[in-house]
Amino acid sequence: MQNRPCLCCGDGTHAGILHGRRGLLARGIAAGLVATGLPRAPALSASAVAHTTLTPDQALDQLKKGNDDYQHGAPYSFAHDRPRRVELARGQAPFAVLVGCSDSRVPPELLFGRGLGELFIVRNAGNTVDTAALGSIEYGVGVLGCPLVVVLGHEGCGAVAAALEMVERNATFPGVIGEMVQPILPAVLSARGADGKLSLDDAVIANARRVAMRLKTQSPVLQAAISQKKLKVVAARYDLDDGDVRWFEDA
């Protein structure tokens, strides 16, 4: 079996046993969805609820409003009580896929003011996308009908900082941490200024934009939804202290 290039690194660096095994499921789902034009797939979704009716732009507006409310300290108004839990037990119909970092300071539901069942969240350190993450994203779009994918980087990202250390000082890290941050290296290199200097924040933004662009160009499931105007993929950057999310809608 020939491994597909990793979505996070793009060059097959991480193709191997792990990608291969997980890839069987991801590629099987993707092939079935693309072949039949992104149908609803009840056998996969096990959901008894209808997909969201929001358009990609409406879904993005919801997140922008939620983040604005979060910045200004507006009280949360989403339902999270027993009736809502009982409702969600029937199935899920999130309106956005959020590809974020594992950082404990970046909780997606809180910073976008969303409640139970509204966001389909995929989190890895450095908001990278390996085969398992890609399959999850494709499931959120192709099966659950999410009209929006957001790749969210954030201020002071430790994984991007580690990649920057590898580039500038040839740093090494214990265990598989070095392998984990290797997919971020191309984004760090692309963020180098004309004077040769590297900024952590520029690298964070470059990494989020690069992952978003790879999702749009290397996932057939997402490409099909985009071509039908059923999906938008955007990059963003979250500021830790002021709570603001900066959007890059051109990815």
Kindly report, residue by residue over 142-197, the tens digit of the pLDDT: 999 999 999 999 999 999 999 999 999 999 999 999 999 999 999 999 999 888 88
The label of the residue with tokens 């979704």 reads: 45
Quote the pTM value: 0.84
pLDDT score of 9: 58
DSSP 46-114: ---SPPP---HHHHHHHHHHHHHHHHTTPPP----SHHHHHHHTT----SEEEEE---TT--HHHHTT-
Tell me how far apart the alpha carbons of residues 59 and 141 are, in angstroms, rounded to a whole number: 13
Lowest mean pLDDT among 2-11, 72-81, 201-210: 2-11
Tell me how far apart the alpha carbons of residues 118 and 121 are, in angstroms, rounded to a whole number: 9
Q: Is the confidence at residue 45, as pLDDT, over 80? A: no
180: burial class by Cβ within 10 Å (0-12, 13-18, 19+)? buried
Kindly report, residue by residue over 1-31, the tens digit of the pLDDT: 444 555 555 555 444 433 444 444 444 444 4
Tell me how far apart the alpha carbons of residues 23 and 214 are, in angstroms, rounded to a whole number: 17
Task: Say how far residue 47 (Cα) sits from the centre of its chain.
Answer: 22
